[in-house]
Amino acid sequence: MAAFLASIGYAHWVIHVLLALPILAMPVILFAPVKSARYIAFGVALTELVVGIGLWWAFDPTRGGMQFVTDITWVEGFGIGYRVGIDGLSVLMVLLSVIMLPLVVWSSWRGIDQKQRGFYALIMALNTGMLGVFVATDLFLFYMFWELLLIPMYFMIGIWGSSNRLYAATKFVIYTFVGSFMMLVAIIWMVAVVGRATGAYSFAYANLLEHADLLKPWGGWLFTAFALAFAVKVPLFPFHTWLPDAHTEAPTAGSVDLAVILLKMGTYGFLRFAIPFFPQFALSKTVGTVMATLAVIGIIYAALVAMVQPDLKRLIAYSSVSHLGFVMLGIWGSTVESVQGAIMVMVSHGLSTGALFFMVGMLYERRHTRKISDYGGLARVTPLLATAFVITAFSSIGLPGLNGFVGEFLVLIGSFGRYPWLVGIAATVVVFSAGYMLWSTQRVFFNRLTNPLNEGIGDLNLRELAVIVPLIAAMIWIGLYPGPLLRRTAGAAQQYVEMVQSALPKAALPDPGAPR
Amino acid sequence: MPIDLSSPSGAVLALLPELLLSLWALVVLLYVAWRHRDGYDMRTAGALSLLGYIFAVAATGWLAWRGAHAEGLSIMIALDGFRFASDALLLWIAGAVTILSVRWLIRQGILAPEYYPLLMLATVGMMLLAGSADLITLFLGLEVMSISVYILAGFDRTRRASAEAALKYFLIGAFASGFLLYGIALTYGATGQFNFELIGAQFAATPPTLMAKLGMGLILIGFAFKVAAVPFHAWAPDVYEGAPTPITAFMATGVKAAAFFALARVLAEVFPAMVALWRPVLFGLAIVTMLVGNLTALSQTSMKRMLAYSSIAHAGYLMLALWAHSDEGTAAVLVYLLAYSITTVAAFGILASIERAGARTVLLTDLEGLFAVRPFASMGLSICMLSLLGFPGTFGFIGKWLLLSAALHQGQAVLPIVAMVGSAISIGYYLPVVLAMTLKPTRTRQAHQTIRFPRPARIAVAICIFAIMLFGVWPNVVLNFASQKVVQLRQAELPTGPR
Amino acid sequence: MIQLVWLAVLLPLIGAVLNGILAIRRPGAKTAVSVIGVGTLLGSFGVAVGTFTELLHAPVASFRVLLWQWLPVSDRFSVDLAFQVDHLSAVMLLVITGVGGLIHLFSVGYMRSDPGYARYFAYLNLFIVFMLVLVLGASLPVSYIGWEGVGLCSYLLIGFWYEVDTNSDAGKKAFLANRIGDFGVLIAMFLLWWSLGTLEYTGITMRAGAEFSIGSTMPLLIALFLFLGCTGKSAQIPLYVWLPDAMAGPTPVSALIHAATMVTAGVFLVVRTAAIFTLAPVALEVVAIVGALTAFFAASIGLRQYDIKKVLAYSTVSQLGYMFLGVGTGAFASGIFHLITHAFFKALLFLGAGSVIHSMHHALHHARSHADAQDMRNMGGLRRWMPWTFALMLLATLAIAGVPPFAGFFSKDEILAAAFARGTEQPIYLVCWALGLVAALMTAFYMARLVAMTFLGKYRGGDMSAAHLHEAPLMMTAPLVVLGALAVAGGLINLPHFAGGHAWLEHWLEPVTEVAAMVMKPLPELARSQEALLILLAITAAVAGLIGGYVLTSRTVIATPEHAAPERGLWRVLYHKFYVDELYQLVFVNPVMWVSRTALWQTVDAFLIDRIGVGGTARVAEGLGWLGSRLQNGQVAFYVAMFAVGAVLILRTLVR
Amino acid sequence: MLLGPSLALSAVLFVLGVAGVLIRRNAIVVFMCVELMLNAVNLSFVALARLHGVSGQIMVFFVMTVAAAEAAVGLAIILAIFRHTQSVDLANINLLKG
């Protein structure tokens, strides 16, 4: 496979194709006949998948640093370039984006019955934006993608969302925009400082990283600016309250994209920018403890709040907050294990939460309610859906053998050396997560079927199965054989940890890898 | 092409665009004195005046192309890239406003073609103001512009709001002129000169006296009024709301731009030696202006009023570039004003098309559900809002980025942070516009049926929207142009910032 | 065969998948389901036997079967999906597949008429898979897959009849209680890795002695956290509460999961990590005390339960306590011994109870009675209709009560003797021993009560239903007979010296416990007379309990539930299980729910962050904007005044 | 040389003009005060021209011209508003606000 890909020059064009295809498809979809919109969108999504999946083989995990690099001057004299590349930190995110795209399109097949062209066009735009964030290696480009993403999401929630959609859409955009406005100042400031010292003004990630030492005097301020943007996106407690609203009101595709990709942009931002640029500040004892504590508060807090949610989507939204807390904890754990774990949580949260949102969407299409109390006893009428939901629920709460466990376990064990107490507290979430997931599963699928409206609803059809089954297969595969994924990120994680190593204060526990 | 400004022929050459435009204004005036009866006359006058702008642009272009520069001292009028660039910008604004006005005036029943000569004379004033190299020219340009705009603001005299706007603008404007004039007098008193270069040299040689400081302060106050900086802004919302919509656009873009160009020139050429004195003033003005403008805009329901406050906030942003006092700052002023003027003209163009004859001003709620009826207009207005917000992918973002860069490169971080806080606040009033148009349903069946979007205006707006998006992702042309050495102001070498 | 041990796991897995597919596609294909369900398990049992025989003659005592790299994260952290086949796991393998096979067979009859037949067998097969992974795992994380996996299956099977709310509740409760324990196991793993750098059992056993000194904090912490896991899985104080509720599942499930296999995983884990426990004597004391207390406490509750399965459930909790008392004394082999014998007789008791319930249910159903088929007050005199069941249950009762020469006698006596012996040096163990002895007395008592209420006396279920009572079909009685034989003769595998045996199991497990044994002080030798006295005491307790239970039960008139007088005094406390469920509800569940809903969601999230924080910021901005627009009052005079103030300020700034 | 007193007088007149604008409510009076300010400045120019040469005096002519133009426009505007409100009291002219 790798040889075949090399023979077609895959590495040279893959990123451009991935970025350009959806955005070029946008006008086509907008001006095509309404009936054909979804078919075009699906075709583009499949193409995107076929093109993107090649990364799995073409990406060389043994090589450090960026691959598939392109560096084209964009605005000369201002150091802005079309600079893209993929490394171990981003490869799985890119893959996840392209894999989710056809599923997202397919899941909207029936649910979106008005303004179809606009909807699919927005999905396409969203996808370009998401991919762009993960492949951009130029901070200007990154910021553009980062902010541009808000627009399609805003309209997706605002137009196709449910009853309280305007509030949710506005909250989402304002929250995220306000969070990231300082990042622009920080980016320009960095470029100015580095440019003044080196004489070359450049927004290139590599260039800024190389001269990150020059930024030390302002590390605290700059990190805060970046951290604010990313923390809102993650979302880290206490910046999370936009998420339940946005998740709940968005249409299925929107919820899925939010959960699977958008939230990861925050944690990815920390891994890629905020920490490597300012490790001395970010990983110092105080800041590290604060961030890890916030992460752990998020983990427990969100799980507890999820437990009492009457709305199924809201519950899953809060569970996302909890899961992303694990990612944050893993990032601040700063060991190869915890960072690998963080990336794994990013992937597996994408799969399981994505699947949960898909299934809630399917339920919603049937019954037009998200309230848990409106359901009950569905397992009898929809055994397939119930089975899939239970598997996914258990994957979400980290049952070993399914995907969720791998990441959480690695995060916890990796971070334990630095934050034993915090990890200890975080680990209690195994109880609470089981609490909210099982309780809600029980109230939806088990117990007596009392509401006669639920009698007639049908089980999953073939299209829906085609959305869910690949995800469940992936959950089991990653749960039992995560080696291929771990190996693809191992190099990057190793490199990352070495990069920030010097800044780390002494861990609470000695290195278990030391020879004995 | 060196031009000796002390010779009559040299002066004529240097003032060619202004002269052409003035003469043409007189020609149009003659025409309208003869025919001023119906819509046809209105249209003809508009078309004729457009021709005048084209002449002026051609003349400016010719001067720029020949590389006109002053031989020796710049007497009365500047001859540099910055003047040509600012002239071009002002002329394009005037032209665009003319195009937007043509049908709008007819529709509103304002059948007085004197409008166009006045607009042209205002433009002459703006060009003189922006290109002045002498305090006398500065004052004359300012007054030519102001007096014309006073009339234009009250042009729809049958509406009380318009008359009131004119009165307020006139009284406070004249009041402010007094301050500016007093400042000129004191500066003259301190140096004995009116010429920018000579004054600058004088200040560079001797420490500033009390009279010089007071003079500078009063001049700054005069300009602060023109750019509508807080607390000298109070006239702006009222006048913007009351004035005919195309004139509002003209004031928000042209008048503001001309004042900023002149201020930039004055600060760079007249008072560079006193940078340590005026920077704190600009600093304070900028912060107050950005915050008050953005916050007050939050509580507006009228679109025009909201845009008025937003334009106040934008004046605050622009002060970052002036504060920077660097080539980057100059480039940022040019780019930002271009971006801002394109966006504002387009926004007002769309709003003007929505206004009905004699009806009250357009409210935010009037826009509800516009997308369903007028998708392109509402998309255009949405893009304008995003550009004003400084959203990446739009021209407005490029402008804002340059502003922030200019300030940050001078080691100033507080102003950019406040500017971004301001931006963050501003999403609170730009977004509801988008929301109302695209996400809310129409109030009634008949909503938006009275919208008339004449073709010339439509084309002009479409070009603007296209430019907003194009320059948003491909700003190379603009950036390269603005960062050329030739369009920069002569900055005296000064020990500034950590650079 | 040892290298093929993964087959034992794979076969039931295939079975689970196939049955799962059948459950959705063809729920009616019961024959196919039975063949797949039981057949795969038979195959598994075959593999187990093969493995065991090969191990009997193998030159080394432990094999590592690598399947694939599971978590290859870094140079220092890598977990293989590997199985460890040694003397301990081989025995467990046999017990699980053997008893499991019998219970599968029993289920074929028991669940015959259930519409969820295929689903049931899918779950049951899946359970075997996870249970085998648990015992075969070569490292803690791999065992943890099984550890949580069995919890999952237990959850699914307890809530098997999910349409009854309480069943689903019970499943959820079981999983949650287990998860509290799992938290302990997780922390223990973290501590182990950060202190020893390995999670493999062999590695832990090898390195623990070198890294830790006896009585230091680290092994104590690890051991206590591990034991927290055990209390969850093996239903010990304080997490035992889920097990009685777990009886909501089908009775064969109770037999397999909640008596014979899953709940003993805790004991297995302690033996597996014996090297850590022996380095922390305090932890061992904790294990023993908790075990003894649980044995006593659960047995006392069992005295006053009427649901036949609830009695057995508390009995299981109590017997598990014995096992922990055994391993807590350092008599690891005794713990495993009791585990095995208990698997036999408790499975028999549950299956017997299953037969009874099956029959009762059938009869009551035909009589259109809504009486509870599990309440012993509705039974009585069943001996007449179900002689086989009665006989086998009686055997099992004698075994569990500890009447020689049945299996339970040897294993229980060994534990008590070990506790007593340890008590001669550490008096705390004497207390444990005493508790154990009293618990033995109570065990005999409630078992006799159970038999008496169920099989003796007069039938209380009404004449209508009596006509429909019948003995269970052969498919169900045959496994009972096999288990009966095992319950009788199970003691032979570890027949003590005084009874003429060679303590085979103890020797067999020596390779597993040798490292622990090297650290542990050996049990003090008891004098012959002391030993005899202890045996006598144990037998006395058993016999006294049996007689007491029988006499007291047969003398009282038993009223059916609807006519029963309210319980009084101590009985009432026992009947309500010491109100522990209510206490937990009050102390843990309600506060957590209150904190989640009122404090966190409504106060912190909705009010503080959203309303005050986010909304407040917006409101402040709006307020300032409102203020700004108030300044814009339309009066030229005011505008000019602002202008003048600004002018003065600017001039003041410049001229200072 | 009366430079100092002249400038002082000019400053006093200017401040008087400002005060008038601040205090008076009649549009025409306010406008007269603005004219007073301009003429105060003219006085400065004339005085300073004695010191610096003729350019200051030239400026005065320009200012006078401008003031005349302003007066023409201003009175017309005041007239226009009078038609609407029948009053030139600035306190009544507050349709636009907020």
Read off the pLDDT of each residue in C557-568 and give the average, rounded to a whole number. 82
The confidence band for A480, taking pLDDT boundaries of 50, 70 and 90, is very high
Restricting to B residues 299-328, those with a Cβ less than 8 Å away from any Cβ of D are 300, 305
Mean pLDDT of B203-227: 94
* C141 cis-preceded (ω within 30 degrees of 0): no
Residue B454 lies in a domain: yes
**What is the pLDDT, as a whole number, of residue A140?**
94
Residue A510 lies in a domain: yes
Residues above pLDDT 90, as percent of chain D: 73
Please tell me the predicted confidence (pLDDT) of residue B454: 87
Q: Which helix (H) or strand (E) holds C584?
A: helix C580-584
Nearest CB to A174; choose among B392, B428, B479: B428
Nearest to C651 by CA among D14, D59, B238, B195: D14
Give D38-66 pLDDT, tens digit per residue. Answer: 999 999 999 999 889 889 999 999 999 99
pLDDT, tens digit, for every residue of A210-224? 998 899 888 999 999
Contact D96 B238 (CB under 8 A): yes
Number of domains making up chain A: 1
| D24 inside domain | yes
- Distance from the Cα of D97 to chain B's closest Cα (Å) equals 6
| Best-predicted range by mean pLDDT (A449-458, B31-40, D18-27) | D18-27
**What sign results for the dihedral spanned by CA atoms B211, B214, B218, B224?**
positive
Q: Return phi, psi of residue C75, to 5°.
A: -60, -35
Task: Quote the CA–CA distance of C65 and C84 in Å, as a whole number.
Answer: 6
Contacts for C383 with CB less than 8 Å, ≥ 6 apart: C390, C455, C456
Distances (CA, A) of B405 to B107, B277, B329, B413, B419: 44, 22, 8, 10, 12
- Residues of B with a Cβ under 8 Å from any A Cβ are 386, 391-393, 397, 401, 404-405, 408-409, 413, 416-417, 420-421, 423-424, 427-428, 431-432, 435, 438-440, 473, 475-476, 479-480, 483, 498-499
Residues in contact with B280: Cβ distance below 8 Å, sequence separation at least 6, in sequence order: C653
Q: Helix or strand or coil: residue A8?
A: coil
Instruction: Please tell me which of the candidates C634, C637, C641 has its beta carbon nearest to residue D97.
Output: C634
Q: In whole angstroms, give the CA distance from residue B308 to residue B297.
A: 8
Most confidently modeled range among A149-153, B122-126, D52-56: B122-126
> What pLDDT score does C107 carry?
93
Q: Which two tokens stand for residue A227?
A: 């951290």
Q: Quick one: how far is CA B415 from the chain centroid?
A: 22
What digits encode the pLDDT tens for the residues C103-138? 999 999 899 889 999 999 999 999 999 999 999 999
- Give the pLDDT confidence score for residue B357 in this predicted structure: 65
pLDDT at C293: 95
CB B290 within 8 A of CB B362: no
Longest dimension (CA), chain A: 73
Strands (E), D1-98: none
**Phi-psi group of B72: left, alpha or beta (phi > 0 → left; psi -120 to 50 → alpha; rest → beta):** left
What does the alpha-carbon distance between residue B325 and residue B491 come to, in Å, rounded to a whole number? 8
Instruction: Average the pLDDT over B263-287 and give the result.
Output: 94
- Grade residue A306 by pLDDT with cuts at 50, 70 and 90: very high
For the question of whether the overall pTM of this predicted structure is more than 0.95, the answer is no
Q: Which chains touch C (3 or more CB pairs under 8 A)?
A: A, B, D
- CATH number of the domain enclosing D17: 1.10.287.3510
Domain region containing A375 = 283-516
Could you give the 3-state DSSP secondary structure of residue A447?
coil
Beta bridge partners of B3: B70
- pLDDT tens, position by position, C48-77: 999 999 999 988 889 999 999 999 998 889
Residues in chain C closer than 8 A to D91 (CB atoms): 635, 637
Q: What is the domain range of residue B212?
A: 2-486
Contact yes or no for C383/C390 (Cβ under 8 A): yes
- Please tell me whether the peptide bond between C405 and the residue prior to it is cis, using omega within 30 degrees of 0: yes
Structure tokens at B466: 């296209």
- Degrees to nearest 5, angle at CA B125 with B121 and B126: 115
Written as one letter, the residue type at C109 is G
The confidence score (pLDDT) of residue A486 equals 93
C144 vs A contacts (CB less than 8 Å): 400
Residue of C10, C73, C594 to mutate, testing the A interface (most A Cβ within 10 Å of its Cβ): C73
Residue B242 has pLDDT above 80, yes or no: yes
* Residue A148, domain member (yes or no): no
Cα C447 to Cα C450: distance, rounded to the nearest angstrom: 5
Q: Is some CB atom of chain C closer than 8 A to the CB atom of D94?
A: yes
In angstroms, rounded to a whole number, what is the distance separating the alpha carbons of residues C592 and C550? 45
| Interchain CB distance below 8 Å, B417 and A196 | no
**Residue B98 located in a structural domain:** yes
From residue A188, give the alpha-carbon distance in Å to each of B44, B413, B482. 49, 10, 19
Amino acid letter, A404: G
Contact D97 C633 (CB under 8 A): yes
Place A515 in a pLDDT band, splitting at 50, 70 and 90.
low
Helices A88-111 & A462-480 angle (0-180, nearest 10)? 160
Q: What is the pLDDT of residue D3?
A: 87
Q: Does residue A230 have a pLDDT over 70?
A: yes
List, for residues B422-475, the tens digit of each pLDDT value: 999 999 999 999 999 999 888 877 777 878 888 889 999 999 999 999 999 999
How high is the pLDDT of residue C55?
A: 92
Residues 38-97 of D with CB under 8 A from B: 38, 40-41, 44-45, 48, 51-53, 55-56, 58-59, 62-63, 66, 69-70, 73-74, 76-78, 80-81, 83-85, 90, 93, 95-97
* Token representation of residue C332: 């690891």
Give the whole-angstrom CA distance, residue C311 versus residue C323: 19
**pLDDT higher than threshold 70 for residue B496:** no
Interface test with D, best of C632, C640, C645 (most D CBs within 10 A): C640
Cα-flanking dihedrals φ and ψ of residue C84, to 5°?
A: -115, 115
How close is the nearest chain A Cα to the Cα of C180, in Å? Answer: 6
Is the pLDDT at A145 greater than 80, yes or no? yes
Residue contact C71–A439, C-beta within 8 A: no
Q: Is residue A3 part of a domain?
A: no
- DSSP symbols for C269-284: HHHHTHHHHHT-HHHH
Does residue A461 form part of some domain?
yes
Contact B231 C653 (CB under 8 A): no
- The shortest CB-CB distance from A490 to any of C74, C162, C182 is to C74
Residue D23 in any domain: the answer is yes
Per-residue pLDDT at B497: 39
Q: Report whether B320 contacts B286 (CB < 8 A).
A: yes
Asked if residue B470 is part of any domain, the answer here is: yes
In a domain, B495, yes or no: no
D94:C641 CB<8 A: no
d(CA B218, CA B185): 10
Which of B171, B194, B241 is opposite residue D96, by nearest beta carbon? B241
Confidence of residue A204 (pLDDT cuts 50, 70, 90): very high
Of C193, C596, C613, nearest to A413 by CB-CB distance is C193
Residue B183 belongs to some domain of the structure: yes
- Residue A185 falls inside a structural domain: no
Residues 6 or more apart whose CB falls under 8 angstroms from that of C68 comprise A481, A483, C80, C81
Q: In the structure, what pLDDT confidence band is assigned to residue B495 with cuts at 50, 70 and 90?
A: very low
**Average pLDDT over chain B, rounded to whole?**
92
Amino acid at A297: I
User: In the predicted model, what is the mean pLDDT of residues B125-146?
Assistant: 95
How many separate domains does chain D show?
1
B378 pLDDT higher than 50: yes
Which range has the top average pLDDT, B68-72, C231-235, C372-376? C231-235
Burial degree of B94 (CB within 10 A; 0-12, 13-18, 19+): buried
Percent of chain C's residues with pLDDT above 90: 71
On the 0-12 / 13-18 / 19+ scale of CB atoms within 10 A, C124 is buried
Is residue D98 included in any domain, yes or no? no
Does B166 fall in a domain?
yes
pLDDT of residue A499: 87
Q: Which domain holds residue D14?
A: 3-86
Domain count across chain B: 1
Structural domain includes residue D37:
yes
